[in-house]
Amino acid sequence: MRRLLAAMLIAGSQAALAVEAGAPAPEIAGPRLDAPGQSISLSSFKGKVVYVDFWASWCAPCRISFPVLDSLYRGDQSRGLVVIGVNKDVTVADAKKFLAKLPVSFPLVGDAGDAAARAFDVKTMPSGYLVDRKGVVRKVHRGFTPETGAAIREEIDALLKEPS
């Protein structure tokens, strides 16, 4: 009987393991929010440094992170940096309203079935995963403050200097 209860409890909890630094980045693939008809996948950016950012319109710190990430992307795109924004809004309309106020130039992808969020086991909004040129997660940022922005800038600079 005790075993049955334990099984019920385990079934109710989430079993996925959170992605931490050192782990290979799970795949993200889906339709682009910012370019209808096109799709995007994380694995196609192998050889580049990728910052994967899970965001939503209801996430208050995302209002700080978006301008910072956009300026990072604009500055280091030519050196091999890609920023992918994974949207976690319930409706696309919510996301569009947010983007009208804080427009960004980096690619955005929807995650309607929660596949990407579940694969990364996102614990906080926003969560940022810095992936190196070999596809390995090197740094995880949970939450976002102005200091986080400065730290990411340095980490990206170091990763861009690594050979692919």
Partner 1 sequence: MKLARGLALAAAILAGCANVAPYQRGYLAREAMALDPNPGMARALEKTYSAKEAASGGASVGGGGCGCN
- Residue 92 tokens read as 């696309």
Whether residue 126 has a cis bond before it, omega within 30° of 0: yes
Q: Which stretch binds partner 1 (CB under 8 A): 4-12, 37-45, 71-79, 100-108?
A: 4-12
Separation between Cα atoms, residue 45 and residue 135, nearest integer Å: 8
Among 122, 137, 156, 159, binds partner 1 (CB under 8 A): 122
Q: By the 8 A CB rule, do 74 and 156 touch?
A: no
Residue recorded with tokens 């931490």: 20
Site string for partner 1, 17-36 (x = CB under 8 A): --------------------
Query: Per rule CB under 8 A, is residue 117 in the interface with partner 1?
Result: yes
Among 10, 114, 134, 136, contact with partner 1 (rule: CB under 8 A): 114
Angle, alpha carbons 150-152-155 (nearest 5°): 115
Binding site for partner 1 (CB under 8 A): 1, 4-5, 8, 12-14, 54, 56-58, 88-90, 94, 114, 117-118, 122-125
